[in-house]
Amino acid sequence: MSDDCIRVLSLNCWGLKYVSKNRAQRIQAIAHSLSTSSYDIVCLQEVWVRDDFEHIRVAVSSRLLYDKIFHRRVFPDGVTGAGLAIFSRYPIIAASLLPYSLNGHPLDFKGADWFAGKAAASVLVTHPILGEVQVFNTHFFSEGGDDGPEHNRAHRLVNAWEFAKLVRQVAEVGRHVIAAGDFNSAPSTLPMIVIREHAGLEDAWGTLHPPAQPAYSNDNSPNPVEALSLHGFTYDSPLNSYSAHVQAPASAPLAKRLDYIFIRNPRPSALSLPRLTPTDARVVFTEPIPGREFSYSDHFGVEATFAINRADIKDDMLFPALDPDRTHVTTIPASTMPTSASTPCLSHEHTMTVIHALETHLTHSKARARREMCVVAMCSFLLVAVLVGTGWSPRGFLTPVFVFLGIGATYIGTTLFHVGFLYHRWEANALRNAIDEMMLYAQGLGSRQV
């Protein structure tokens, strides 16, 4: 086991209980594959069933001795929760979970992101050469696609902003950062721009693979196999058994790259810390499970290898040098410490684009809430009419009709009241917080440019 490089895997396991197809067989196959691999860090998404996590944990325990699953909410096991798990060859000394403030609409039962509760999970590991390394595993809001107006992706933009802030804060402490996960965004989209620019993250695949011409469903070149190595597609690939039957429009992309592994090195300083450099990145878990006719997941995995470029570090550079009598401390001059010139910066143009998208979504959200509250008012009126009608109805056979109408009006009215009033206020406040933060950031950019 060499410590001169780090191999990282990210895989969305599609482990939703009762819904995901062939879940038990796929989890067993994933666990077996990981048990024979040589990864140092594994980040898994959509591991919602505790027994699935335990099965993988036992399978990889001979190499990946340390692990952390980030627990679900109060809902039943396998239905909702963060679904994030991290396995590590290096000791884990701390862990945290940041739930994103926006995760979709409660009535979006198809996407169900609101119930899942998307989040950013993090562990702090100790590496024999790098020291403390912060490892992030995340899963972004999925609805909204990559095309059309940016306000359709407002919740994902808020996810990206919150994630970038978190990574930025950790990186400024001086730690190496590894960030992986299912970001549900193509490389050129605004959420990924926010992450690269504001968090200063380096995309392992993007660094090692030059941009290629877009591949579309009606284009025979490259073929799906070649497209994996050219574009790094991880989702909706014709090679995946769970998306092979999907008939995409001729103008649609052949597949999507939604899964990433990023790194960020500490800023240059007088300490000459070792640095991570991507040396290999590839799409994995692309073949069907041996002996089966289905894939490991509806996503392919992505792996990356990072070389550790050792620096000539001297002990008296890392720690203050003490005289024998311990009365004098040698300090590092302030002029040699990192400067703000190397600080990652989200451009003013992109900042204002995000702000406009969030403001537009807030306007649409207010209009939707008004419509929902109008329905609540109509349900209340209908319920009163049903109660009055039941008492004055001369025909007893109409009573069951009135009962069912009353139940329906009560259910719809109560549900839309919670959505149109309570959820809307929650969403509006989260959007306003993000808008205010980004306005302050934009003002700061303007003052630095003056």
- Which range marks the domain in which residue 391 is found? 348-449
pLDDT of residue 297: 98
pLDDT of residue 390: 72
**pLDDT at position 277 over 70:** yes
Query: Which of the two residues, 146 and 282, has the higher pLDDT score?
Result: 282
Query: Which of the two residues, 252 and 432, has the higher pLDDT score?
Result: 432
Looking at the fold, whether 224 and 298 belong to one and the same domain comes out as yes
pLDDT of residue 335: 37
Task: Note the pLDDT tens digit of each residue in 353-407.
Answer: 999 999 999 999 999 999 999 999 999 998 888 877 776 666 666 777 778 888 9
Task: Note the pLDDT tens digit of each residue in 198-229.
Answer: 999 999 999 999 876 666 656 666 788 888 88
**pLDDT at position 75 over 60:** no
pLDDT of residue 213: 64
Query: Which of the two residues, 82 and 235, has the higher pLDDT score?
Result: 235
Q: Which of 68-72, 111-115, 118-122, 337-341 has the highest mean pLDDT?
A: 118-122
How do 131-139 and 119-127 pair as beta strands? antiparallel
Question: What is the mean pLDDT of the segment spanning 28-37?
Answer: 97
Q: Which of 85-99, 217-231, 232-246 has the highest mean pLDDT?
A: 85-99
Looking at the fold, whether 192 and 308 belong to one and the same domain comes out as yes
Which H or E element spans position 404? helix 399-417
**pLDDT at position 442 over 90:** yes
Query: Which of the two residues, 328 and 194, has the higher pLDDT score?
Result: 194
DSSP-derived secondary structure for 226-270: HHHHHH---BS-TTSTTTTT----TTSBSSB--EEEEEEPPPP-T
Helix axes 154-171, 190-199, angle to 10 degrees: 10
Looking at the fold, whether 10 and 158 belong to one and the same domain comes out as yes
**pLDDT at position 418 over 70:** yes
pLDDT > 90: percent of the chain: 63
What is the pLDDT of the chain when averaged over all its residues? Answer: 86
pTM of this structure: 0.87
Beta bridge partners of 306: 6, 278
**pLDDT at position 446 over 90:** no
Lowest-confidence region among 54-68, 142-156, 247-261: 247-261
Domain count, the chain: 2
**pLDDT at position 56 over 50:** yes
Looking at the fold, whether 397 and 291 belong to one and the same domain comes out as no
Q: Which of 321, 342, 363 is the last residue of a domain?
A: 342
Question: What is the mean pLDDT of the segment spanning 149-171?
Answer: 94
Looking at the fold, whether 172 and 214 belong to one and the same domain comes out as yes
Looking at the fold, whether 41 and 76 belong to one and the same domain comes out as yes
Q: Which of 342, 368, 386 is the last residue of a domain?
A: 342
Looking at the fold, whether 279 and 402 belong to one and the same domain comes out as no
**pLDDT at position 102 over 70:** yes
Query: Which of the two residues, 316 and 381, has the higher pLDDT score?
Result: 381
Give me 46's structure tokens.
């959509």
**pLDDT at position 111 over 80:** no
Distance CA(187)–CA(435), nearest Å, equals: 23
Looking at the fold, whether 310 and 360 belong to one and the same domain comes out as no
Looking at the fold, whether 318 and 376 belong to one and the same domain comes out as no
**pLDDT at position 37 over 60:** yes
**pLDDT at position 450 over 70:** no
* Cβ neighbours of 328 (radius 10 Å): 10
Q: Which residues contact 79 (CB under 8 A, 6 or more apart)?
A: 16, 17, 18, 48, 72, 115
Question: What is the mean pLDDT of the segment spanning 398-420?
Answer: 87
Looking at the fold, whether 236 and 377 belong to one and the same domain comes out as no
SS3 131: strand
Question: What is the mean pLDDT of the segment spanning 157-167?
Answer: 97
Lowest-confidence region among 5-14, 211-220, 287-296: 211-220
Question: What is the mean pLDDT of the segment spanning 257-263?
Answer: 97
Q: What does the longest C-alpha to C-alpha distance in the chain come to?
A: 104
pLDDT of residue 314: 47
**pLDDT at position 340 over 60:** no
Q: What is the CATH number of the domain that holds 321?
A: 3.60.10.10
Q: Which of 342, 364, 383 is the last residue of a domain?
A: 342
Looking at the fold, whether 309 and 404 belong to one and the same domain comes out as no
Beta bridge partners of 88: 41, 66
Looking at the fold, whether 270 and 355 belong to one and the same domain comes out as no
Question: What is the mean pLDDT of the segment spanning 125-146?
Answer: 93
Distance of CA 266 to CAs 78, 112, 162, 317, 384, Å? 38, 37, 20, 16, 65
Task: Note the pLDDT tens digit of each residue in 262-275.
Answer: 999 998 764 678 99
